[in-house]
């Protein structure tokens, strides 16, 4: 089983497998792996089939995006129930190892109950990522919870097709009154779906206050970036906040307050938050006010690289500098350019750190693994005229579990350096 994204297959059908889609005893059409494709990885938990690994005759091509089918190996032995989208490079996603499974509200309730049980054990308040896609056995689905509000990102065609059952199950399991659909982002484009936001149940009246790491964040769940707040950095915010006591802090790519608000809540003397988005900075300012730290909080709007260069020319120094950018390398074709961007970011940020201070560098790029990101960061620090110790390596919080067979589910890396 190939575990790296391939190019799209030739549309010509495989005559030797022209009957790959057929009626079967499970009540679903069947789709079949190509004869030379090894099924071992799928049997061991890998959840995807790439487009060049599946027989794609004319009947397979006629399946509607998000259709359900039984996946078979080349010898026609069933592997499980999958969802098929011939418009996507990920042509099939495993839904259930039982090829006779019925995907209805009860099925969703079972999956959501399992996900909720872990979050309820981990967190005292209902503010967390409830569903982390494949790692929670709901491929292509993200659900973040904000108290009585839940935001669904249906990033795969099958999720869009079953959205009513998913919404009903979500309300039944969690008791939330409001459900929002955030149908934006790169993943939907790769699935051939249009962008669309909607309130599916209940109502939303402005940004939602979210308590986290001693601070209050304001999440715009209807018009903000992604679901409105990034829960994945929670443990890394907490670690950086321990270094922020009595410190002057610079938080670049702050979004709605990011590291800055947690640092101020822990006792930072000041925090300058930088972002290109004026609406995000306005929410960050509201969060600072709600947290009671507004007098120590300031913002600067602009391109992060331009602001870092300007601060450098001004001779600015901070005890703690954090850079938490969007994904510079979201896919393998962007890897080299992305690593250069991470290196440049480190080069510009390192001179702003006071002697003995700390630099936090983060990456949420799927394509840049920890080794590559760490090396790019170290090169940038060196080219910025600094050297130091790597004292902490952080990842996403436990409400963002990783599926061991799927490296893409462990995307977040956070490095903390102490600079000489």
Question: Which of residues 78, 96, 114 is at a domain's end?
Answer: 96
81 and 39 in a common domain: yes
pLDDT at 20: 43
**Strands 215-219 and 208-212: what pairing?**
antiparallel
Our measurement of the distance from residue 200's CA atom to the centroid of its chain's CA atoms, rounded to an integer in Å, reads: 22
Q: Residue 353: which domain range?
A: 215-419
What whole-number percentage of the chain has pLDDT above 70? 94
Q: How far is CA 170 from CA 64, 115, 173, 337, 348, in A?
A: 25, 11, 5, 40, 45
Residues 361 and 233 in one domain: yes
Within-domain flag for 8: no
- pLDDT tens, residue by residue, 67-96: 999 999 999 999 999 999 999 999 999 999
Distance CA 91, CA 243 (A): 45
Among 48, 152, 135, 113, residue whose Cα is nearest residue 399? 135
Q: Residue 30: what pLDDT?
A: 95
The answer on 160 and 26 residing in a single domain is no
pTM score, two decimals? 0.92
* pLDDT tens readout for residues 310-329: 999 999 999 999 999 999 99
The Cα 417–Cα 420 span in angstroms is 10
| pLDDT tens profile 105-143 | 999 999 999 999 999 999 999 999 999 999 999 999 999
356 and 220: one domain? yes
Q: Are residues 110 and 86 in the same domain?
A: no
List of residues 6+ apart from 266 with CB closer than 8 A: 213, 214, 241, 242, 244, 245
Q: Is residue 5 part of a domain?
A: no
Place of tokens 């051939």: 192
Average pLDDT of the segment spanning 22-46:
88
Q: How confident is the model at residue 226 (pLDDT cuts 50, 70, 90)?
A: confident
All residues at 6 or more sequence positions from 66 whose CB lies less than 8 Å from its CB, including other chains: 83, 84, 85, 156, 157, 158, 159, 160, 161, 162
- State mean pLDDT over 229-248: 98
* Residue 306 shares a structural domain with residue 375: yes
Domain match, 294 and 377 both: yes
pLDDT at 24: 61
The tokens for 171 are: 């309300």
* pLDDT on residue 364: 96
Quick one: pLDDT band at residue 1, thresholds 50, 70, 90?
very low
35 lies in a domain?
yes
| Residue among 369, 346, 310, 370 at smallest CA distance from 419 | 346
pLDDT digits (tens, 9 = 90+) for 329-380: 998 999 999 999 999 999 999 999 999 999 999 999 999 999 999 999 999 9
Q: What is the CATH number of the domain that holds 245?
A: 3.40.50.150
- Chain-wide mean pLDDT for the chain? 93
Q: What is the pLDDT of residue 21?
A: 44
Instruction: Tell whether 45 is covered by a domain.
Output: yes
Residue where one domain finishes, among candidates 149, 167, 201:
201
Cα(first)–Cα(last) distance of the chain, in Å? Answer: 46
Q: Which residues of 150-182 are buried (b: 16+ CB within 10 A; e: fewer)?
A: bbbbbbbbbbbbbbebbbbbbbebbebebbbbb
243 and 164 belong to one structural domain: no
- Sorted by sequence, the CB contacts under 8 Å of residue 205 that are 6+ apart come out as none
pLDDT confidence of residue 13 = 41
Q: Which two tokens stand for residue 234?
A: 């929670």
Catalytic position from the list 260, 364, 372, 403: 364
2 inside domain: no
How sure is the predictor about 26, in pLDDT bands with cuts at 50, 70 and 90? confident
Dist CA 418 CA 242 (whole Å): 13
pLDDT at position 9, please? Answer: 42
Phi/psi at 116 (5° precision): -65, -40
Beta-bridge mates of residue 299: 273
| 118: enclosing H helix or E strand | helix 105-122
Do the bridges between strand 149-154 and strand 141-146 make them parallel or antiparallel, or are there none, so unpaired? antiparallel
Q: Indicate whether 258 pLDDT > 60.
A: yes
Say yes or no: 154 and 219 in one domain. Answer: no
The answer on 327 and 247 residing in a single domain is yes
How many C-beta neighbours within 10 Å does residue 389 have? 11
Domain boundary among 68, 96, 124: 96
pLDDT of residue 5: 42
209: in domain: no
Is residue 4 in a domain? Answer: no
Residue the block writes with tokens 């790519």: 253
Parallel/antiparallel/unpaired status of strands 353-363 and 413-419: antiparallel
Instruction: State whether 36 and 110 are in the same domain.
Output: no
Which of the four pLDDT bands, split at 50, 70 and 90, describes residue 165?
very high
Same domain, 328 and 222: yes
Paired tokens of 278: 């004026």
Angle, nearest 10°, between helix axes 278-291 and 258-265? Answer: 10
Angle at 74 between CA 72 and CA 78, to 5 degrees: 20
User: How many other CB atoms sit within 10 Å of the CB of residue 193?
Assistant: 22
Q: Count CA atoms within 13 Å of residue 304 on its CB side.
A: 24
Structural domain tally of the chain?
Answer: 3
Q: Which two tokens stand for residue 110?
A: 């079972």
Q: Using CA atoms, how far apart are residues 295 and 292, in angstroms rounded to an integer?
A: 8
Question: What's the token pair of residue 148?
Answer: 């009585």
| Residue in this structure with the two tokens 């009947």, named with its chain if needed | 59
Q: Is residue 210 part of a domain?
A: no
CATH of residue 58's domain is 2.30.130.10
Per the annotation, the verdict on 364 as an active-site residue is yes
């Amino acid at each position: 089983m190939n575990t790296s994204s391939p190019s799209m297959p030739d549309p010509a059908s495989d005559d030797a497998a022209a009957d790959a889609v057929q009626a079967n005893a499970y009540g679903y059409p069947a789709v079949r792996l190509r004869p030379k494709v090894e099924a071992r990885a799928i049997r061991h938990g890998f959840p995807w089939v790439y487009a060049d690994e599946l027989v794609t005759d004319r009947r397979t091509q006629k399946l509607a995006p998000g259709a359900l089918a039984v996946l078979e190996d080349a010898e026609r032995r069933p592997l499980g129930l999958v969802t098929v989208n011939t418009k996507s490079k990920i042509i099939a996603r495993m839904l259930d190892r039982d090829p006779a499974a019925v995907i209805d509200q009860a099925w969703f309730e079972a999956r959501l109950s399992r996900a909720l049980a872990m979050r309820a054990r981990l967190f005292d308040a209902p503010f967390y990522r409830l569903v982390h896609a494949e790692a929670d056995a709901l491929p292509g689905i993200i659900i973040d919870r904000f108290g009585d509000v839940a935001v669904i990102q249906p990033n795969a065609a099958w999720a869009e097709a079953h959205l009513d059952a998913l919404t009903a199950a979500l309300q039944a399991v969690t008791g939330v009154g409001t459900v929002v659909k955030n149908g934006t982002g790169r993943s939907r484009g790769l699935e051939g779906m249009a962008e669309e936001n909607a309130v599916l149940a209940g109502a939303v009246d402005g940004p939602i206050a979210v308590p986290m790491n001693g601070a209050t964040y304001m999440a715009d769940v209807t018009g903000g970036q992604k679901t409105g707040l990034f829960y994945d950095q929670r443990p890394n915010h907490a670690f950086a906040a321990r270094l922020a006591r009595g410190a002057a802090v610079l938080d670049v790519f702050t979004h709605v307050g990011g590291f800055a608000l947690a640092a101020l809540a822990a006792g930072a003397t000041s925090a300058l938050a930088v972002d290109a988005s004026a609406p995000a900075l306005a929410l960050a300012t509201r969060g600072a006010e709600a947290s009671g730290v507004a007098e120590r909080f300031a913002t600067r709007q602009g391109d992060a690289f331009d602001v870092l260069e300007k601060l450098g020319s001004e001779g600015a120094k901070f005890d703690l500098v954090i850079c938490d950018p969007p994904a510079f390398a979201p896919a393998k074709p962007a890897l080299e350019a992305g690593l250069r961007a991470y290196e440049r970011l480190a080069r510009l940020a390192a001179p702003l750190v006071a002697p003995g201070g700390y630099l936090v560098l983060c990456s949420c790029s799927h394509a840049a693994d920890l080794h590559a990101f760490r090396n790019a960061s170290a090169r940038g620090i060196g080219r910025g005229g600094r050297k130091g110790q790597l004292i902490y390596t952080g990842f996403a919080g436990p409400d963002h579990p990783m599926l061991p067979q799927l490296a893409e589910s462990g995307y977040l890396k956070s490095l903390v350096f102490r600079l000489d």
